[in-house]
Structure 1
Amino acid sequence: MMPDLGKYADTVLSAYAASLVLLVAIVVLSIWRGRRVRAEMERVEARMSRNG
């Protein structure tokens, strides 16, 4: 199924690998940051409901 890449196989496959690693890192960081922001918003809302 994989096309013959000849002498460029290492370069192409390493570019694919780097792209996949970066995409996974972006997704993981986005989820992590989203959870942090959500937790902070819940703390602020709880504080506002007690004081407001």
Structure 2
Amino acid sequence: MREGLDQWDFVIAAYAVGVLGTLAMVAWSWISMKRAEARREKARRK
């Protein structure tokens, strides 16, 4: 007995992981950039 697996489930899961990972990295870098800008402004005011 052979069970037929649908490869599209794996393709969709791979794309979902890739998209979510990319969005997480973009959010992380944006937050880091904002923190660095705030530190720079704080250093300029001193």
User: Which structure carries more relative contact order (alpha carbon 8 Å, separation 6+)?
Assistant: 1
- State the Cα distance separating 1:7 from its structure 2 match: 1.6
Percentage identity across paired residues of the two chains: 26
Which 4+ runs in 1 deviate beyond 4 A? none
What's the counterpart of residue 33 of structure 1? 32
Q: How many residues align?
A: 42
* 1:1-52 correspondence runs (5 A): 7-47=6-46
Alpha-carbon RMSD across the aligned residues, in angstroms, is: 1.2
How far 1:13 moved relative to its partner?
0.3
Q: Unmatched 5+ residue regions in structure 2? A: none
Q: TM-score with structure 1 length normalisation?
A: 0.76
Unaligned residue ranges in structure 1 (runs of 5+):
1-5, 48-52
State how far apart, in whole Å, the 1-side matches of 2:41 and 2:6 are.
Answer: 55
Alpha-carbon distance in 1 for matches of 2:20, 2:13: 10
State TM-score, norm by structure 2: 0.85
